[in-house]
Amino acid sequence: MQEVLLIQQVNPTGGLFVSFGGDDEAYKGKFQAGCRKAGIKINELTSEEALKIEPNLNSNIESAFEVDDGVVDPFMLTVANAYAARENKAEIETYSRVVKIAGRELSYLNDNKKKKIKADIIVNATGVWAGKTAKLVGREIKVKAYKGTILVYQGRAVERVVNHLHFPSQGDIILPHRNTTLVGTTNIPEKNLERFNIEKEEVDFLKEEGFAKVPLLRKRVLLRAYAGLRPVVGEISTRSFVLSDDGNFITISGGKLTTYRLMAEKVGNLVARKLGVRAKCRTAEENIIGDVKPTKLKKIFKKDYERIFRRYGNLSGKLSAYSSRNKRICLCEGVTSNEILFASKELFCKNLRDIRRRTRFGMGFCQGRRCTFEAALTLFSENIINSEEAQLQIINSLEERWKGIVPVIEDYMSEAKLLEATYSCTGNYNMVKNIIRR
Amino acid sequence: MKTIVVGSGMAGIIAGLRAYSHGSDVVMISQGRSATSLSSGVVDVFGYFRGEEIKSPLEGIKRLEEENEVHPYAILGAERIKESIDFFINISKKVGFPFRGSIDRNIHIATQFGTVKSTCLAYDRIYSGRVERWKDRRVDITGKSERNFRPAFVVESLRILLPKLGFNAGVFHDGEDCDIILKPLKQISKGESSCALSLLGDGSILEKKLLEYIKSLGIRHIKDRILKADIEKGEIKTLTGKRQYTGDNFIIASGDYIGGGLNSFGESIIHLDIYRIKDKPVRKIPFPVKGHPYSKNGVIVDENLNPFYREKRISNLRIAGSLLGGYDYCTEKSGLGVAIATGYSAGDME
């Protein structure tokens, strides 16, 4: 619980557990008892009170409890951690796959080039691939992968995390994320780590679960669906994590986002011990990125300040250094050219997809139709990429957007067709892309 | 003779003008945005057949007829299509936005995306900027940068792409000693001799001029959304939106998914019988060479462009434009061509 509260500092929206007519009324007692036992503060609300704070809930509420809870942007959280690590002299190489470990020497593929590096300690924190990576040193780590799918609706239909108050099941959660509403999740064992699909049944199921809790979602635009694999060790319900110590090879496996810091602390302490370092881990006490002065930022970003600060948090200070000829790139999400350049230069970006995850361009209603090209032109105009690279990235970026559109395309037909009409019909990319790629 | 036309994109406009030319009293009803207004305004007639470039639309039309394809062009035949193109070219002259080109041959134009595409008819200035004219000449692409357009990008991209496509041209970006200068259409001022590069949205210039012309003829254009149709004995009696509309002939050119004539349930006003791909309608990549199967979804019609409702023909209704099934304008590059040809035929009285 302590860990959850630490992470909440990112965006403490608060949460609700709500049951509706037809749900098992007996579960309410189990829930209250469980919270008491775990020391989790809950506050019972009447259905009127619940509807007052979350008016879009299905009005057929049986019982409701307010809890502490929060929402985090996993992209920015990861980037912020990487940024802080780099400030502390870490070197970070993305898109690099480790292919061989021989004693203290690690071989990896980066941009199709084989590179080698020597390490005193190797930490295997490869998530669902932890088992595959451990095999490189002949060790067996058992990690099971469970696929979770989430639907993304345009607009915030709720302001808090809304959980279905019933026996834990799939499709329990609805939460606000930036300018969208997420409906999730499924929990399906998955064998293929590299290629997995979102099935129609998952989408249909999640839609129904979403409508049951927040009927307004029927009127909102379903933008896309995405899925990821959870690395599970032990019992899936506990989501526990395991630290394995094999001399110079350490594996941290399992866990969930809310325990990431604790997991990292344990790894850090173990590594420190092995290296004879006596410093104490400070991540529970200190912000990973130093605080910024709001008044100074407001002067620089003016009307955009709120959006910028919500997006980049304490990294907004670094963005403020990019202050010339700012243009609006993404009309849906408001992203400006300075953000594109900032992300490209400082936030570990190798392509437009990376830049999208940092800035959110292409994540709105048009899913990149109007802004992807302009984002690429921004990089071109600053001589960061040439035209050929720009074309390849535009195609690649839109292919990634399409991957999330396909599972929900029946609800997104008009925009999907417009995307195709823009690039195939007007741009002739369907014919030209293979020539560019040659 | 009263003709009601639903939809005021290219298909609806041409249908209305054709019906008018036959002496019919025409009322046009529309709402929302048309794909025409979002396009770059060049008239694609038939550029690519089954993933291969074709040298002339006529070649493609012939192959469709030979292969018995369920394509609006196969239904109409080359003669009728040619007539409709001539009709359009004449109108484009009348509205002061003259188009050039011939159904006998395709041309290539440069796009704001730094790519090249095959098309057939284009506004005068755009036509004179076609890539065929670039051979052995120095071409400059210039103008003020705007959204999704940078002259330098187009130049660099084309420099790499043109040789790969088998074109020989020198593309520069400094305006000195150039034989051909291309600028965005909107940026060319009166008296300037530049050729034009059409950008996304320039289709709205063409559409606007056509709608002004329609207004000047006294044809009423009403803003309304048609929600249902009353059908009796295989004929439409009334269309209902905010008001009711009656007529002798009805033409629905309400577009595909973009205009809203089609949605994921089918044809949106009457639920006409449609041709629809159910199994694997979407490809995994956004711009497949041969397109998505769902792009061919649309209303089924007979040789008179009459549609069917539960297999019963509706004899006083004709369908035109992208609402029709059996073709894929994105990969064929046949959008405005089909709109013009089917609009013209739909507006033709016996």
Indicate the SS3 state at residue B254.
coil
Residue of B nearest to A403 (CA): B284
**pLDDT score for A7:** 56
A-proximal residues of B, 202-241, CB under 8 Å: none
Distance, CA of B255 to CA of B12 (rounded, Å): 9
**pLDDT score for A173:** 97
| Cross-chain residue pair B333–A425, CB shorter than 8 Å | yes
Query: Does position B134 have pLDDT exceeding 80, yes or no?
Result: yes
Residues 6+ apart with CB under 8 A from A30: none
Q: Does A156 touch chain B (CB under 8 A)?
A: no
Interval B3-10 mean pLDDT: 98
Interval B105-134 mean pLDDT: 97
Q: Which of A320-329, B50-59, B112-121 has the lowest mean pLDDT?
A: A320-329
Structure tokens at A189: 């064992």
Q: Which candidate, B20, B25, B75, B95, places its Cα nearest to that of B347?
A: B20
Q: Which candidate, B197, B146, B148, B192, places its Cα nearest to that of B171?
A: B197
Distance, CA of A150 to CA of A159 (rounded, Å): 18
pLDDT > 70: percent of chain B = 99
pLDDT tens per residue, range B35-55 = 999 999 999 999 999 999 999
What is the pTM (predicted TM-score) of this model?
0.95
Distance, CA of B40 to CA of B112 (rounded, Å): 10
Interval A341-364 mean pLDDT: 97
A-proximal residues of B, 79-138, CB under 8 Å: 111, 113-118
Measure A328 CA to nearest chain B CA, in Å.
10
| Cross-chain residue pair A430–B287, CB shorter than 8 Å | yes
Chain B contact set for A372 (CB, 8 A): none
Q: Tell how many helices (H) and how many strands (E) occur in chain A.
A: 16, 15
pLDDT tens per residue, range B160-190 = 999 999 998 778 877 678 899 999 999 999 8
By the 8 A CB rule, do B326 and B72 touch?
yes
Residue B136: pLDDT band by 50, 70, 90 thresholds? confident
Q: For the residues of A52-64, what is the DSSP string, one character each?
A: HH-TTS-S-EEEE
Q: Which candidate, B332, B230, B281, B166, places its Cα nearest to that of A435?
A: B166
**A vs B: CB pairs below 8 A:** 127
Domains A2-72+144-232 and A93-143+236-275 share a fold: no
Interval A378-387 mean pLDDT: 97
Cβ atoms within 10 Å of A223's Cβ, excluding its own: 25
As beta bridge partners, residue B240 has: B228, B244
As beta bridge partners, residue A19 has: A63
Q: Which of A196-205, A308-317, B118-127 has the lowest mean pLDDT?
A: A308-317
Query: Does position B204 have pLDDT exceeding 60, yes or no?
Result: yes
Interval B151-165 mean pLDDT: 95
Residue of B nearest to A388 (CA): B157
Superfamily of domain A2-72+144-232: D-Amino Acid Oxidase, subunit A, domain 2 (3.30.9.10)
Structure tokens at A97: 């796959």
| Cross-chain residue pair B117–A426, CB shorter than 8 Å | yes
pLDDT tens per residue, range B309-337 = 999 999 999 999 999 999 999 999 999 99
Measure B113 CA to nearest chain A CA, in Å.
6
pLDDT tens per residue, range A24-69 = 989 999 999 999 998 999 999 999 999 999 999 999 999 999 999 8
Query: Does position A275 have pLDDT exceeding 70, yes or no?
Result: yes
Distance, CA of A27 to CA of A19 (rounded, Å): 9
Chain A contact set for B117 (CB, 8 A): 426-428, 431
Q: Which candidate, A341, A404, A339, places its Cα nearest to that of A368?
A: A404
What kind of fold does domain A93-143+236-275 have according to CATH?
Answer: FAD/NAD(P)-binding domain (3.50.50)
The distance in angstroms from the start CA to the end CA of chain B is: 12
Query: Does position B83 have pLDDT exceeding 70, yes or no?
Result: yes
| Cross-chain residue pair A418–B38, CB shorter than 8 Å | yes
B-proximal residues of A, 382-411, CB under 8 Å: 386-388, 390-391, 395, 398-399, 401-403, 405-406, 409-411
| Cross-chain residue pair B258–A418, CB shorter than 8 Å | yes
Nearest to B285 among A388, A399, A428 (CB): A399
Q: Which candidate, B333, B238, B338, B349, places its Cα nearest to that of B47?
A: B333
Nearest to B330 among A395, A406, A421 (CB): A421
Interval A382-408 mean pLDDT: 97
Measure B231 CA to nearest chain A CA, in Å.
28
**Cα–Cα separations (whole angstroms), residue B243 to A13, A76, A333, B239, B334:** 47, 52, 38, 8, 34
Measure B202 CA to nearest chain A CA, in Å.
11
- Provide Rg for chain B, Cα atoms: 20
Distance, CA of B127 to CA of B122 (rounded, Å): 5
Parallel, antiparallel, or unpaired for β B317-319 and B249-252?
A: parallel
Q: Across all residues in chain B, what is the average pLDDT?
A: 95
Query: Does position A385 have pLDDT exceeding 50, yes or no?
Result: yes
Query: Does position A112 have pLDDT exceeding 50, yes or no?
Result: yes
| Cross-chain residue pair B330–A420, CB shorter than 8 Å | yes
**pLDDT score for A194:** 93
Residues 6+ apart with CB under 8 A from A384: A341, A344, A345
Residue A5: pLDDT band by 50, 70, 90 thresholds? low
Distance, CA of B318 to CA of B287 (rounded, Å): 31
Buried b (16+ CB within 10 A) or exposed e, A200-217: eebbebbbebbebbbebb
| Cross-chain residue pair A403–B152, CB shorter than 8 Å | no
Q: Which of A29-43, A166-180, A313-327, B144-158 has the lowest mean pLDDT?
A: A313-327
DSSP classification of residue B214: H
Evaluate the CA torsion angle A53, A56, A58, A59 in order and state its sign.
positive
Chain B contact set for A373 (CB, 8 A): 113, 148
| Cross-chain residue pair B157–A374, CB shorter than 8 Å | no
**pLDDT score for A239:** 78
Of the two residues B190 and B298, the one the predictor is more confident about is B298
Chain A contact set for B164 (CB, 8 A): 435, 438
Query: Does position A72 have pLDDT exceeding 90, yes or no?
Result: no
**pLDDT score for A9:** 46
| Domain chopping of chain A, boundaries | 2-72+144-232, 93-143+236-275, 322-437
Kindly provide the ipTM of the predicted complex, given to two decimals: 0.96
**Cα–Cα separations (whole angstroms), residue A138 to A103, A121, A132, A181, B139:** 11, 16, 10, 43, 62
Indicate the SS3 state at residue B349.
coil
By the 8 A CB rule, do B219 and B178 touch?
no
Q: Does B200 touch chain A (CB under 8 A)?
A: yes
Nearest to B286 among A390, A398, A411 (CB): A398
Distance, CA of A419 to CA of A366 (rounded, Å): 8
**pLDDT score for B323:** 98
Q: Which candidate, A94, A125, A99, places its Cα nearest to that of A111?
A: A94
Indicate the SS3 state at residue A18.
strand
Measure A299 CA to nearest chain B CA, in Å.
27
Query: Does position B350 have pLDDT exceeding 90, yes or no?
Result: no
Structure tokens at B329: 């304008």
pLDDT tens per residue, range A276-285 = 999 989 988 8
Residues 6+ apart with CB under 8 A from A293: A317
Residue of A nearest to B52 (CA): A431
Evaluate the CA torsion angle A406, A409, A412, A417 in order and state its sign.
positive
Residue A8: pLDDT band by 50, 70, 90 thresholds? very low
pLDDT tens per residue, range A183-231 = 999 999 999 999 999 999 999 999 999 999 999 999 999 999 999 999 9
pLDDT > 70: percent of chain A = 97
Nearest to A414 among B40, B153, B257 (CB): B257
B-proximal residues of A, 60-79, CB under 8 Å: none
Q: Which domains does chain B have, with CATH numbers?
A: 2-98+204-347 (3.50.50.60), 104-199 (no CATH)
Distance, CA of B334 to CA of B73 (rounded, Å): 10
B71-77's contacts with Cβ under 8 Å and 24+ in sequence apart are B71/B326, B71/B327, B72/B324, B72/B326, B72/B327, B72/B338, B72/B341, B72/B342, B73/B46, B73/B327, B73/B334, B73/B338, B73/B341, B75/B301, B75/B302, B75/B303, B75/B305, B76/B341, B76/B342, B76/B345
pLDDT > 90: percent of chain A = 81
Distance, CA of A324 to CA of A327 (rounded, Å): 9
